[in-house]
Amino acid sequence: MRKTLFYILTIALFSAISTKSFAHCEVPCGIYNDELRIAMLYEHFTTIEKAMNQINELSAADDKNFNQIVRWITTKDEHADEIQHIATQYFITQRIKLPETTEGEAFDKYVEELSLLHQIIVYAMKSKQTTDVKYVEKLRIALKAFEDSYFEGQHRHKIESDDH
């Protein structure tokens, strides 16, 4: 009985401290929800914007709460990392298809979407380096352009969000 309890506790401990797993691990399972990923990106943008505003507000206070400032910085950086993960691991790795040729409409669309995803990755990085909300607006503009290109001509169920 003690040995079984030890094994159960050991497994529980390792499960608790293991790294975060992501829903899509590049196994060709065919289960994708592109609209959800877009909505998640917009939500990450809004969280980063709120964090930037909170950091600026808390930093300007006479009685600075450094604990809260650090927590908002950490939150901002974590959400920027999530943006980069979705852009690279979800869209670039799994959803943007390599065209068969380097000429024509398919290739032009491919290059446009890669370029927009690269902008999103860079603006997410910039949002980690600063509290300038202009990068959040640049993220929204780049994502909207990507969204328009990616879903062009496709029927989709748009997930409504308050911020776009």
Q: DSSP code of 153?
A: T
Write the pLDDT tens digit of every residue in 5-19.
444 544 554 444 444
Domain ranges for the chain, please list them: 24-150
Write the pLDDT tens digit of every residue in 34-80.
999 999 999 999 999 999 999 999 999 999 999 999 999 999 999 99
Class of domain 24-150: mainly alpha
Write the pLDDT tens digit of every residue in 89-103.
999 999 999 999 999
What does the CA dihedral 97, 98, 104, 105 come to, rounded to 10 degrees? 20
